[in-house]
């Protein structure tokens, strides 16, 4: 493969794909979390942007969020092998300890997110069962918070030493 | 999604056994993961410098760069939690229905607090 594309370009493409998948997951989960945290009981119609943003049918996002989280996770886990050598070691030498610490926390959080997915999916596929209402709401909010944390940490790390490094 | 896939997903969504599996899997995983991290129980160790994989925990080899344990912790967590979830899926419905659902979203929070504490060297350097 590296006859056609440089090693640097390969990892950059992978990192961009990972980032795009993360943005898509973030958008879907934020819509869904707002739809359960502050549901809109009447058709949004001509109301404001925020009302329309939270007026989505959350159940329709569940399978897509699961697929997106797993795909983002797999790409991230792949890039992580490169990160450990090419990114972390130089950042250690330059003393970016807090950035690295947050990235360590991000890896734990993404694993915690992936193990929530079967229950999350099950709750949303049984959205009419009131017994799952509270668990569905808080699991979705937790997943969305995890996604935001992971996204922001990844973004900051990329600013510290990312594309082309 | 094909009609066959849709029908499989729909039967999974209506299965109480799958529900019990998913709930216990989600509850067990943060506990297993924290235990793996604190007691160092990775299923395998990956050495990114050489692409070598050692079964279980292994120290970094001399002149071969660092060792990575996260893949191994994640693998241990997925396997152990899935086994516990499988056991839960065999429980009678009247038992599995009593599992407190709030543990699913509550347990990751103290688990993350412990993991953040373990990362103290990163915060204090």
How far is B24 from B100, CA to CA, in rounded Å? 10
> Based on the structure, what is the number of domains in chain B?
1
Residue B5 included in any domain: no
Q: Hey, which residues 92-111 in chain A have their CB within 8 Å of chain B?
A: 95, 97-98, 100-102, 104-105, 107-109, 111
Among A36-50, A130-144, B18-32, whose mean pLDDT is lowest? A36-50
Residue A97 included in any domain: yes
More confident residue, A143 or A60: A143
Q: B29 lies in which domain range?
A: 16-124
Helices of type H across A38-61? 49-53
pTM of the predicted model as reported, rounded to 2 decimal places: 0.92
Among candidates A136, A127, A114, which has minimal Cα distance to B105?
A136
Residue A52 included in any domain: no
pLDDT over threshold 60, residue A44: no
Q: Does B65 contact chain A (CB < 8 Å)?
A: yes
Q: Does B77 contact chain A (CB < 8 Å)?
A: yes
- For A54, the 3-state DSSP assignment is coil
Distant-in-sequence, close-in-space partners of A107: CB < 8 Å, separation ≥ 6:
A80, B70
Interface contact flag, A122 B116, Cβ < 8 Å: no
- Read off φ and ψ for residue A76, nearest 5 degrees: -60, -40
Residue A1 included in any domain: no
Q: What is the ipTM of this complex?
A: 0.92
Dihedral angle of Cα B78, B84, B85, B91, to the nearest 10 degrees: 170
Average of per-residue pLDDT values in chain A: 92
Interface contact flag, B25 A118, Cβ < 8 Å: yes
Residue B48 included in any domain: yes
Q: Which residues of chain B register pLDDT less than 70? A: 1-2, 6
pLDDT of residue A165: 64
> Based on the structure, what is the number of domains in chain A?
1
pLDDT of residue A43: 66
pLDDT of residue B125: 83
- Read off φ and ψ for residue B33, nearest 5 degrees: -65, -45
């Amino acid at each position: 493969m590296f006859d056609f594309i440089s090693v640097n370009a390969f990892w950059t493409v992978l990192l961009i794909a990972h980032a795009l998948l993360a943005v898509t997951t973030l958008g879907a989960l934020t819509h869904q979390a707002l739809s359960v945290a502050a549901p809109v009981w009447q058709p949004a119609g001509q109301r404001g942007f925020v009302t329309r943003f939270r007026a989505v049918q959350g159940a329709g996002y569940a399978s897509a969020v699961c697929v997106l989280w797993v795909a983002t996770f797999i790409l991230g886990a792949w890039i992580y092998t490169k990160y450990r050598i090419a990114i972390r070691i130089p950042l250690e030498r330059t003393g970016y300890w807090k950035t690295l610490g947050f990235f360590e926390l991000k890896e734990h959080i993404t694993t915690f997110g992936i193990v929530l997915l079967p229950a999350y999916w099950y709750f949303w596929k049984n959205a009419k069962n009131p017994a799952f209402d509270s668990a569905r709401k808080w699991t979705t909010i937790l997943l969305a918070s995890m996604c935001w944390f992971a996204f922001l940490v990844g973004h900051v790390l990329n600013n510290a030493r990312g594309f082309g490094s | 999604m094909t009609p066959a896939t849709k029908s499989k997903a729909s039967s999974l969504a209506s299965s109480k056994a799958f529900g019990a599996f998913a709930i216990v899997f989600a509850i067990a995983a943060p506990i297993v993961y924290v235990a793996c991290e604190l007691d160092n129980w990775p299923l395998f160790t990956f050495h990114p410098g050489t692409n070598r994989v050692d079964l279980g925990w292994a120290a970094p080899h001399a002149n071969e760069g660092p060792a990575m344990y996260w893949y191994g912790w994640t693998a241990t967590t997925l396997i152990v939690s899935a086994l516990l979830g499988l056991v839960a899926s065999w429980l009678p419905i009247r038992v599995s229905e009593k599992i407190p659902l709030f543990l699913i979203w509550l347990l990751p929070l103290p688990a993350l607090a412990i993991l953040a504490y373990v990362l103290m060297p990163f915060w204090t350097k």
